[in-house]
Structure 1
Amino acid sequence: MGKFGKIIGVAGAVAGAAYLSSSENREKIKSQFTKAVNKFNSSYLKDLGKPSELEDAKMVDEGAMTSVQYYNKLQEKPKEE
């Protein structure tokens, strides 16, 4: 199965390269990819949270920087010997 898998992989790569050699085909692929991404974003990501939850997430994200800033201040202080 190892040789057969490699042959299939190489054949697929060659076929993909041949298909994408045409600018018309590249544009088709780009438009389909863009449509898929937009569909995913509009249908799945908007259902992840309510606006109030998004605000909470932003507040938590901003609060996460507090510990980083504290650590950086400790690192900047000269060490007392």
Structure 2
Amino acid sequence: MGKLSKVLGVAGVAAGATYLSKSENREKLKKQLNKGLNKFNKTDVKSWGKPSDVEDAEMVSEGAMTSVQYYNKLQGKSQGE
């Protein structure tokens, strides 16, 4: 399997080099990369994975505490408290 992946890698590099040998293809690629980078820069990376609504965030935290309290209560019962 190692030889096949090397051959495919070399073929991919050769195909990419052939494609990028034309200046119009290089310009297309540059435009696409810039477009993608601009979209990425416009998004707020710090907000990824966080609820955007404060009420939702509070609900999640309350739910998390409820499950922790329930778990602790069950642990207390199993230990004879």
Q: Once superposed, what is the RMSD of the aligned Cα atoms?
A: 1.6
2:43 counterpart of 1:39: no
Q: Counterparts of 1:46 and 1:33 in 2: how far apart (Å)?
A: 22
Q: Counterparts of 1:9 and 1:24 in 2: how far apart (Å)?
A: 24
Q: State the match for 2:63 in structure 1.
A: none
Identity of aligned residues (%): 58
**Equivalenced residues, count:** 48
Query: How big is the shift at 1:44?
Result: 3.2
Q: Counterparts of 1:2 and 1:44 in 2: how far apart (Å)?
A: 41
1:2-81 equivalences in 2 (<5 Å): 2-45=2-45, 47=47
In structure 2, the residue corresponding to 1:25 is in which secondary structure? Answer: helix
The TM-score, its normalising length taken from structure 2, stands at 0.55
Q: State the match for 2:69 in structure 1.
A: none
Query: How big is the shift at 1:47?
Result: 4.3
Residue identity matched to 2:44:
Y
Deviations 1:22-69 (A, max 9, x none): 000000000000000000000234747xxxxxxxxxxxxxxxxxxxxx
**Unmatched tracts of structure 1, length 5 or more:** 49-81
